[in-house]
Amino acid sequence: MRLTCAGAADATTAAAWRRSLDRWLQQRVGGAAEIRDDIVLSVNEALANCVEHAYRDRHAAGAMRLYADFDPASQTMRVRISDRGTWHRPVRRRPEDPFASRGIMLMHTLADHCTINARSTGTTVCLNYTIPVEIPVEIPVESVGAGED
C-alpha cells in the first residue's frame, strides 16, 4: 500500500499532506493510534524542514515529495520525504536551550530508524516504523442461564 505526494514546499502543502497521511494511515494501515500519531508528527517535522530550510536562499518555494509504503506482511512502514534544496547544517545547541531545534531529534526518537541523506542535489529523510497489526481478541461468551434450574 502506497501514498505518493509531490508539490510545492510551502506550509499549505505540508498541512494538506499531513492530513492526507493521517487519513491514509487510518483507512489503509490501521495499527495503534499512538503509532499513527508518532508517524504523522515525525513526517510533519521532515516536511516543515523542507518548507523552512531547503529553499531559504531562493525567492520562490521549491518542490518536495512524500512517499509512504506499508508492507502488511512484515508490518513495516517506510516514509521518504525529499527536496531539491540546499542542506543547512543545524547549529549544535544543548537540548535545554530554548532556541534549540528539536525536529531532527523528534524524528530520530519517534521512528524506529531515521536517516538523513544530504547531497548537493537535495535532501532525503527516510523514516522506518514497525506497525504491529492489531489482532482482535476473541472473548468466549458463556451461556447465561444454561443448565440452571
Q: How confident is the model at residue 53 (pLDDT cuts 50, 70, 90)?
A: confident
For 21-31, write each residue's pLDDT tens digit: 999 999 888 77
Beta pairing class for 113-119 and 2-8 = unpaired
Beta pairing class for 76-83 and 63-71 = antiparallel
Quick check: 64 and 9 in contact, CB under 8 A?
yes
For 88-111, write each residue's pLDDT tens digit: 666 666 666 665 567 788 899 999
Walk me through the domains of the chain, giving residue ranges and CATH numbers: 2-130 (3.30.565.10)
Whether pTM exceeds 0.85: no
59's grid cell? 525567492
19's grid cell? 492530513
